[in-house]
Amino acid sequence: MHKQYISLKRYQAGFTLVELLIVIVVIAILAAITVIAYNGIQTKAHTTVLMSDLNTASEILANDNAYNGAYPLTAAEANGNKGLPASPGTSYTYTSDGKTYCLTATSTYSGVSSYYISSTNGAITSGQCTVTDPTPQVVGHTTVASNFPSGGGSLNISPDGSIATGDWMILTYMGSSNGVRADPPGWTRLSSQQVFNTQQAYVWGRIRQAGDTNYTFTASGQIDGIQLNLIWGTGADPTISDWIGSAGQLRSVGGVSNTNTAPSITTTTNHTLSLVLSFEATITNESDVTSLTGATNLYFAPQQTSVNGGYIQTLKAATIAQATAGPTGDVTIVYPNAQASNGFGVQIGIPGV
């Protein structure tokens, strides 16, 4: 009898394509979660380092201010000219006018936010310093003119609604050299009395106070012509003794010339606005100067022909905005008409807050 052997094949079951895809997707998700978690840990670590650097730097700046009486003007000057320490990957952006500072710390590692601290907020905050120009700004100006008969009189120049409490103001006077002038109450004289030919000029400064309604200029004796100019703006150091008044320069003493000069002043603080003032007495009407070199034009106040037949006083005003302390440079003002000894140029430095 023959035995019949039956061969049984064993079949090994494998993964289907769908199952393989599911496994791959799961592995990818797990890998992504791992990467995200790792990046989060790295970002948190780099952020901690960044904030620690910023905290250390702010303590150094506070010590500099306590020791020197001012914050360093650059980061390199901090810590006795050693600079601000920073960990690898940390960079700083620093701004200061000596009285205040703002410091931004930025990381070279991606995904890490910037943080900043300033002398005004004292707390580490997410974001970057908002840098604004701390140089005083001119907001407006106005001119009035009159004449005083024998015995003298008073002339008011009134601030309008655009002059806010705390704004800086410059008041200029030009008129005939007859008579005696008095400083307007509450104003500080910034330039010594200047007498040229038949004219005189003065410059005063003031911070507008709450309740101011008008400013009165008084003189005794007959004055054939007066021109007052009021210029005002924002952002000035309210301590007027810190403002710089130039001695000025007379125009063409002993000669004949078209050119007036407002001589250079040396500012002592960063972010100073120099107000350039050029007075002129002319026998011919002039609509403006021919050229101005070394400053930015502000305005020209011509002869006041609508008042009592017209007066001869004019004023050319210009500005120089300086980011860093130092000399402003001479400013030259060329007039259409050449005359002798009939003008005066001055610069007034107004430091920022």
Of 224, 171, 174, the residue nearest 199 (C-alpha): 174
Q: What's the chain's length in residues?
A: 353
Contact (Cβ atoms closer than 8 angstroms) between residue 326 and residue 181: no
d(CA 86, CA 43) in angstroms, rounded, equals: 17
- Tell me the longest C-alpha to C-alpha distance in the chain: 162
Buried b (16+ CB within 10 A) or exposed e, 42-78: ebeebbebbbebbeebbebbeebbeeeeebbbebebb
**Exposure string for 125-150, b = 16+ CB within 10 A, e = fewer:** eeeebeeeebbbebeebbbbbbbbee
Give bridge partners of residue 118 from the DSSP assignment: 102
353 residues of the chain, pLDDT tens digit each = 555 554 545 555 566 777 677 778 777 777 777 666 555 566 777 888 888 999 999 999 999 999 988 888 888 899 989 999 988 888 898 988 777 899 998 888 877 778 899 988 888 888 888 877 789 999 999 888 777 666 667 777 766 667 888 999 999 988 877 766 778 888 899 988 888 777 888 899 999 988 887 777 777 766 667 888 999 999 999 999 999 988 788 887 777 888 999 999 999 888 899 999 999 887 777 889 999 999 999 999 988 765 555 667 899 999 999 988 999 999 999 999 888 778 889 999 999 98
Question: What does residue 146 show for φ and ψ, rounded to 5 degrees?
Answer: -165, -175
For residues 323 and 135, the answer to whether their CB atoms sit within 8 Å is yes
Contact (CB, 8 A) for 317 and 249: no
β partners of residue 339: 257
